[in-house]
Chain A
């Protein structure tokens, strides 16, 4: 009976399958074939071999990575940069949206919102160029500010200790407005009678933010937070790579940039595929953990 129903559905809607055929083919070729190709992480694959060939070597390359002297630093750099971006970059758009929501002059509100979107449209190359312009010891604004406070002028981009701050805060600058859009939309959907009731009870503006606005957008915040945790290990290669220079590698070398250098520049395919697999696996675990926690604590879940 059930089989018949399926057959009927197939017969009637086969053209939906036809429409889907092209994208499905794309997913198989460009998403699943590379996943299958991850097997070279466990093989001795060298340039020139036919695709996914080579003798099986088991965990040789993964172990080589774990045993390498740079493993700890790479992992630490990746995690610190990523956590910093989440800890600072995640709450700021929420605070910004709450702030914007409190501005009573609608025109002024719209103006701020539109202005803060602009940086979203700039490329990583432009952002890093601007960082380098502002870090200039002679004419950069960063150093003008430093000198104003009696500090010496330095090229911030070439100092490993400033790399993370530069990365994180330029990210906040670029994406604060864009990332806030979701929260602004969620805030504007709150039932105004809630605020009116609070007014009658004599609540202050701050109390209304804490007891009405925030709880009302909680589910949006949580879902975005889980998603964000799930991409911990995939922090933007593009910007990090552009910000790197020989003197700041100590803190700026992360797993993805290292994979690029070892894999594509040095041609150590198997080894860098193993590093990629490791990176991906951590990411996947983090996502599952974050989702399980959220499900337990708040009943919000991605699946």
Chain B
């Protein structure tokens, strides 16, 4: 506090200029990040014709909620929403469970073959079988075209595992395990009664990382799913928003024109509707966010 006051008194001309420049840059960056987002929201509440003519610039014009009504009338979007919620909840649950089951033993000093196992895991960050062998494996296990193809092959992200492992190592004192051991507590019970209850912060971060990834993913669905009733929201979105942009899109060209018209009308509202739930997640986990990312940095 004292230092700050001192600075204020002694603020040189150079420092003043510096402050002004820094603050202007800060505002400019904020505008660049925010403008596209505000525009999309404004356009979603505007008369589509005015948007198409380029008359909406910042605030909505010809306010209407018609686009949102159309979105909510769309059956595909509801199916996509339902599927995405299922994939995200089940997928994240599997992610967290497996990640902890791997990170906890690897974080313990008395884990047999700890170094070897850690190496086996880290290696997969730098070398892997790639798309085709993984695809063939999933097909051979008959997981394709089922929900399991979405939640199992990506069940662990090695980077997240290492972040969790580092967190366990650094934030749970060895003495706690030692005294628990003296009380005759098994390693499994230590995990349930000591490690997990003390790791709220890292679990929140993992939920955020895995959850956002599930919500936003279209890749595994595109590769493994054929049944349209299994489509997650992102696939539905892609079909609506990027119609005609990519060749693999419409399997049936019937109603293509309708689709284009429809897409024009709901383009903006559908972006808002699909992004809001994942944006809502952020304030909940925000206070853990920086902490979690920092642990990742320490690990490197």
Question: What residues make up the interface of A, taking CB atoms closer than 8 Å to B?
Answer: 6, 9-10, 12-20, 22-24, 26-27, 29-38, 40, 51, 96, 99-100, 102-105, 108-109, 111-112, 114-126, 128-130, 132-134, 138-141, 144, 157, 173, 176-177, 181-182, 184-186, 192, 196, 199, 204-206, 220, 223-224, 227, 230, 237-238, 241-242, 244-246, 256, 259-260, 263-265, 269, 272-273, 276-277, 279-280, 283-284, 287, 302
Contact = CB atoms under 8 A, between A and B. Distances in A.
Contacts of A140: 54
Contacts of A265: 248
A121 B275 contact: yes
Contacts of B267: 129, 133
A130 B271 contact: yes
Interface stretch (B66-74, B133-141, B166-174, B196-204): B133-141
A89 B126 CA distance: 21
Given A116-B29, A130-B36, A242-B238, A139 B132 contact: no
B183 to A, nearest CB: 15
B130 A259 contact: yes
Given A100-B26, A185-B293, A259-B131, 8 more contacts: A16-B105, A20-B101, A132-B245, A157-B245, A227-B300, A238-B217, A264-B135, A280-B127
A51 B133 CA distance: 9
A139 B22 contact: no
Contacts of B7: 199
Interface residues of B, number: 95
B85 interface: no
A20 B104 CA distance: 8
Contact of A144 (B22, B54, B108, B274): B54
A256 B130 CA distance: 9
Interface in B105-134: 105-106, 108, 110-112, 117, 120-121, 124, 126-134
Given A16-B111, A121-B279, A139 B53 contact: yes
Contact of A264 (B131, B187, B191, B212): B131
Residue from A18, A19, A108 having most chain B Cβ neighbours under 10 A? A19
B63 interface: no
Nearest to B215: A123
A7 B19 CA distance: 64
A287 B126 CA distance: 8
Contacts of A173: 32-33, 36
Contacts of B133: 33-38, 40, 273, 276
Contact of A138 (B40, B53, B186): B53
Given A22-B98, A30-B155, A238 B219 contact: yes
A263 B131 contact: yes
12 contacts: A13-B108, A13-B112, A15-B186, A24-B117, A27-B124, A34-B137, A115-B34, A118-B33, A130-B36, A133-B267, A182-B293, A223-B297
A241 B156 contact: no
B187 to A, nearest CB: 5
B14 A125 contact: no
A141 B39 contact: yes
| Chain A interface helix/strand/loop/mixed | helix
Contact of B275 (A102, A103, A126): A126
Interface in B248-293: 248, 267-268, 271, 274-275, 278-279, 281-282, 286, 289-290, 293
A118 B279 contact: yes
A121 B212 CA distance: 7
B126 A182 contact: no
Contacts of B176: none
B156 A138 contact: no
Contacts of A220: 297, 300
Contacts of B136: 37, 40, 51, 269
Contact of A284 (B121, B127, B268, B282): B127
A102 B21 CA distance: 11
Contacts of B14: 204-205
Contact of B108 (A16, A114, A123, A279): A16
Interface string B138-162: 0010000000000011011000000
Contacts of A302: 300
Nearest to A195: B3
Given A30-B137, A223-B300, A245 B132 contact: no
B130 A280 contact: yes
A92 B186 CA distance: 48
Given A13-B110, A22-B98, A119 B33 contact: yes
A64 to B, nearest CB: 15
A224 B293 CA distance: 12
A220 B215 CA distance: 30
Contact of A16 (B110, B140, B278): B110
A24 B103 CA distance: 11
Given A125-B242, A181-B290, A35 B15 contact: no
A272 to B, nearest CB: 5
Residue from B293, B296, B300 having most chain A Cβ neighbours under 10 A? B300
B216 interface: yes
A24 B290 CA distance: 30
Residue from A114, A122, A181, A223 having most chain B Cβ neighbours under 10 A? A122
